[in-house]
Chains A and B, each alone.
Chain A
Amino acid sequence: MRAILLSSLAALSIIAASAPSFAGEVETGGVLLAPSGPVNVTNGGGNVNIAKGKFSVAGQSVTTLGGTVLGRGRTITNGGNNRNIAAGAFSQAFQDTTTVGGSVIGRGTALTNGGNNTNVARGFMSTAQQSVTTLGGTAFGHGLSVANGGLNTNVAAGKFSEADQQILTIGGTATNHGASLVSGGANKNLALGKGSFASQEVVTAGQ
């Protein structure tokens, strides 16, 4: 009996002695700080502005100012995905969104998304105006700059309605063997209602 107990205790001590390797694995699997350097994330989009009642007025202004990243960092600026809707008869909806992201100096990545916005005037004699400005990053030195400003929709659906949309997306500069990708297409501008008017201006640019 004693021999059994002693052997079991010996086994326990062996497990305890071998436990450090297990503990070491757990600890090394803990928090990992990003080796790529600083990160700057600026989300200013995703806003909703609706004038639903008759003769109602809705105005929205959203300003988000991001920052600059030094070193092998990343700066991500999301200013798009906004919705502006004038649904009621004789209603007016105004939306102004400004998002300024950061710059990367070093082997960084600057990603700017300012598109995918929707502006709709669907009420009788309604007016919808939307202005979305997204200033993205600049990548100096082997950096990568990506700017997406497209996929916008502007619709004047109500009778004698008016929809006006202005989308400005400015991506970054990529110098010194860097790369700059700019995408601003796939936009829709529709005047569906009787006597309606729809105007759309989409500017997507690098620097």
Chain B
Amino acid sequence: MFRRTSVLAALVVFTALPAMAQEFGGVPLGGSGAVLGKIESLAPGCPLSQTTVAIGVNQTLNTGALAQQRVGSVAGGASGCRPLVSTQVVAGANLAFGAGSGANQTITAQSQRGLLATNSFTRGVNAAVGARSSATQQLQSLFNH
């Protein structure tokens, strides 16, 4: 009798919670028909989110040294495919420490614009520290329409 009752109680405990969670669950959408429309307009096969990160570190330490760096990043995906949220990060550090040294850095990133949100972060540090040194840095963050 006790075993039957305990089994029944366990069933009640472990089945009631997930069942009700599913009934009341999901993502509440703050009453935004526009957001729902954007989500529904997402083409089949397109990703919900897309993140592109392009980071480069280029430096010279010795006298007369030359360092050149080119970093390119192009987000993949089918043509005409736009994710709901698109995030792109471009960051570069270009440092010429050696005397008479040269450091050149170019970073280019390109991705699709998001249907709901597009976030772009671009940040660069460029320093010619050594005597007669030179440092050149170019950062580009682009989005397709």
* Partner-B contacts on A (CB < 8 A): 2, 5-6, 9, 12-13, 15-17, 19-20, 23-24, 26-28, 30-44, 46-68, 71-72, 88, 91, 99, 102
Contact = CB atoms under 8 A, between A and B. Distances in A.
Interface stretch (B51-59, B71-79, B133-141): B133-141
14 contacts: A20-B19, A24-B21, A32-B27, A32-B28, A35-B30, A35-B35, A39-B119, A48-B127, A52-B129, A53-B128, A54-B131, A57-B134, A66-B143, A99-B122
Nearest to B85: A39
A53 B132 contact: yes
B43 interface: no
B130 interface: yes
Contact of A17 (B12, B32, B138, B145): B12
Given A38-B118, A102-B118, 18 more contacts: A9-B8, A13-B12, A16-B12, A33-B35, A34-B32, A34-B35, A38-B117, A42-B118, A51-B128, A52-B128, A53-B131, A53-B132, A56-B129, A57-B133, A58-B136, A59-B137, A62-B139, A67-B145
B111 to A, nearest CB: 11
Nearest to B37: A71
B113 to A, nearest CB: 5
Contact of A16 (B13, B23, B24, B126): B13
B38 interface: yes
Which of under 10, 10 to 19, 20 to 34, or 35 or more describes the interface residues of B?
35 or more
Interface SS of B by simple majority? mixed
Interface of B: 1-2, 5-6, 8-9, 12-13, 16-17, 19-21, 23-32, 34-35, 38, 90, 96, 99, 113-143, 145
Contacts of A60: 124, 126, 136-138
B42 to A, nearest CB: 13
Contact of A24 (B6, B20, B31, B118): B20
Given A41-B119, A67-B143, A20 B16 contact: yes
A23 B17 CA distance: 7
A2 B6 CA distance: 12
B21 A27 contact: yes
Contact of B117 (A26, A40, A58): A40
A28 B132 CA distance: 62
Contacts of B27: 30-33
Given A40-B118, A53-B99, A56-B96, A12 B134 contact: no
A39 B140 CA distance: 21
Contact of B118 (A27, A30, A67): A67
Given A30-B28, A50-B128, A56-B128, A39 B116 contact: yes
B68 to A, nearest CB: 14
A64 B30 contact: no
Nearest to A46: B123
B141 A63 contact: yes
